[in-house]
Structure 1
Amino acid sequence: MKAYPYPLLKPPSFVWDKSAVPAEPKVNEWIQTLDPTQAEAYDWTRYDVAILGVPLSRSSISASAASENPDALRRAWKYFTTYNLDCDEDLSDLRVVDLGDVRQNVTDIQQCHRNIREAMFHMRTHHPHMMPVSMGGDHSITAMLVKGWNDAHPQERIGILQMDTHFDLRDLTDNGPSNGTPIRNLIESGVVKGEDVHNIGLHGFFNARSLKTYADEVGVRYTTMQQARKRGLEPTVRKALEQLAAKVDTIYVTVDMDVLDISYGPGVPASTPGGMRSDELFEAVYLAGKHPKVKAMDLVCLDPFKDRGEATVKTAVHTMLTFLTGFKQREK
């Protein structure tokens, strides 16, 4: 298989016109896209962040077109400037490249998962200095991305900061490698220890008691939305990052967009009442982006076909850009 820029990736399905980039660019004018004919000649040391699309949703428990999300986010870049007024920070100095999408098999989910794992392995092998930001896809991709990281960095202890309404600890024997099992998949495969997972955003009537029992048995840390609001979201996130950083070498941040309240995330297949507001999610990922041990991030479980007025898609792009704002300020 021809490497682009290494195996199991293909170029984005469309590329924004960058023939005339203004002094104050929009995000679609700022994020670079590789020329497939010139991929081998690129100076990869120039880039700080790699965007990766993972268009898989066949492994979703809820009916979902989350496979369409990577392109939906790319198309929504046109709405955003690179300047974050809240932080007085311009992202245009960051060098960000869109590597395209992981190749998917039409019917074989396990092959899709192998491709995702191998793509992350190659990314870390070829470009270990870049921050990977992955656009899913359903939440099953997280287990494969983390396993790919582990393949490339077997000496590292990996922790997970999870923003989610669900534990995602369903039993693999009857749920398989679905979007309901990625965290259990990582724990039972020995890639991540239960005590190295911290979930923020659980609430209400959307998790079975048996999942809480399993979480307690394996030592998963979690903070419900009710607890986070009583303690304050910022101190909750800071404490989770501090606890993880004290034990692990790498913190992987995974944002399941179903962490949002249904009114803020109408494009989420498993949307629920009682979740995070969008501004709370932005605060959480900003703090994560600033932390030196946070080395990768993904956004998952967004179905643009169910969205209303691109509300959830725009929120996801804002989430990604806010994370990168924190990352840039960390670099300073």
Structure 2
Amino acid sequence: MSEHGLFGWPRGDATSLGPGDVGVVGVPSDFGNAYVSGTRAGPEAIRRSSAAMPLRDVAGHDLGDVDVFDGADWAEIVERTGERVRRIAGQGAMPLVLGGDHAVSYAAVSALDRAGTFDIVWFDAHTDFCPWHGADWHNHKQVLRRIASLPHVGRLLVVGHRGITYFDESLQWPALEVVRPASPGHAPSIPSSWLEGERPVYVSIDIDVLDPCTAPGTGHPVPGGLDLDTLCSMVRSVARSRRIVGADVMEVNPLLDYEAMTSRAAAEVLSALVRARVPHSLPAIDGALA
């Protein structure tokens, strides 16, 4: 593991964090990836790429990785990830989660249940809204469907969807809105209604929202994605307009990458987010450190 944390931030634990800081946790999991393994190496690859872009003007600490060992079941991953996220939020800091497969986002979002109702901005080539086939089955293809059912989650915005997902239920979900990539002469943008309001937002970035020419190292690439400048601009617009209760970047697979293009892109997007974010002190979650 790298000596320094993400963006050169010091290693530490949740007690190192202050109100408005950023607390980083990695979740090296392939659990929700049904066909392609390798995302477990994503957190460390993103950290290595971020070393070239240190953030000295943003206060953050890297809490290291959740222990995801061979044979761990999904409930253990959710519990361990949730415990780290709650500790970060309990200090009034913003949790920033490095994946790992996209199913990990459920663990992070569900752990913020004491933060009040918040909306989700989901950057992804897919809607991840397939129905689940059983109470114990978790997969990155239906993670947003599970998140949408959490009582503390409000509206959902999917940005960059262009993949065909069979049995997708998202069109029947009234609180979900979809922004597709640009068509000729029309650049994509965040709807104005999502750039106002007092309700906090959780931002989740599946790196496959980018075009494979920019981010080849991911398990389910889809042609016609966003370019890096557009994604960074959209992320900045959300971070400058809404209070960010938490964020993540998922599905970076170094085994499929070329010259660290994808992990570097992930680090650049996260840099754009934390630099643009107004460092609100998030209300400490009662009992989060108990």
Match of 2:224 among 274, 277, 286: 274
Q: Does 1:119 align with 2:84?
A: yes
Contact 1:165 1:206 in 2 (8 A): no
**1:303 is matched with which residue: 253, 256, 266?**
253
Q: Which has the higher helix share?
A: 1
Check if 1:206 corresponds to 2:155.
Answer: no
Query: TM-score if structure 1 supplies the norm length?
Result: 0.76
Q: CA deviation at 1:122?
A: 2.6
1:113 aligned partner, one-letter code? V
Could you tell me how far 1:137 is from its partner in structure 2? 0.6
Query: Taking structure 2 as the reference length, what is the TM-score of the superposition?
Result: 0.87
Within 5 A, what are the aligned runs for 1:69-148? 69-80=42-53, 82=54, 91-107=55-71, 108-125=73-90, 127=91, 129-148=92-111
Q: Any idea what SS the aligned residue of 1:133 has?
A: strand
CA 1:223–1:44 in 2, change beyond 3 Å: closer, same or farther?
Answer: closer
Is the aligned partner of 1:185 residue 2:146? yes
Deviation string, structure 1 residues 276-332 (Cα, Å, up to 9, x no partner): 11111111112122123222110000101110000111111111111112115889x
Closer/same/farther in 2, CA of residues 44 and 116 from structure 1, 3 Å limit: closer
Q: Which residue of structure 2 lines up, in the alignment, with residue 291 of structure 1?
A: 241
SS of the aligned residue for 2:214 comes to coil
User: How large is the RMSD of aligned CA atoms in angstroms?
Assistant: 2.5
Q: Which is further off, 315-324 or 102-111? A: 102-111
Change (3 A) 1:192 1:329: closer
Identity %: 19
CA distance in structure 2 between the partners assigned to 1:144 and 1:27 by the alignment: 24
Q: Does residue 164 of the first structure (1) align with residue 124 of the second (2)? A: yes
- Post-superposition shift, 1:139? 0.6
Aligned to 1:44: 17
Helix, strand or coil: the match of 2:239? Answer: helix
Q: 2-side partners of 1:273 and 1:113: how far apart?
A: 32
Kindly indicate whether structure 1 or structure 2 has the higher relative contact order, using CA contacts under 8 Å at least 6 residues apart.
2
Which has the greater radius of gyration? 1
User: Do the aligned partners of residues 43 and 144 (structure 1) sit closer, same or farther apart at CA in structure 2, a change above 3 Å counting?
Assistant: closer
1:55 is displaced (CA, Å) by 1.1
SS of the aligned residue for 2:255 comes to: helix
| AA partner of residue 33 (structure 1) | R
SS in 2 for 1:100: strand
Post-superposition offset of 1:232: 3.1
**What SS does the aligned partner of 1:52 have?**
strand
Query: Are the structure 2 counterparts of residues 290 and 238 from structure 1 closer, same or farther at C-alpha, using a change threshold of 3 Å?
Result: farther
What is the number of residues matched between the two proteins? 278
* Alpha carbons 2:99, 2:251 under 8 Å: kept: yes
Task: Provide the rounded CA distance (Å) in 2 between the counterparts of 1:27 and 1:293.
Answer: 22
CA–CA separation in structure 2 for the residues paired with 1:310 and 1:43: 30
**Cα distance in 1, alignment partners of residues 247 and 16 from structure 2:** 23
Q: Does 2:192 align with 1:239?
A: yes
Q: Which residue of 2 aligns with 1:16?
A: 4
Partner of 2:11: 33
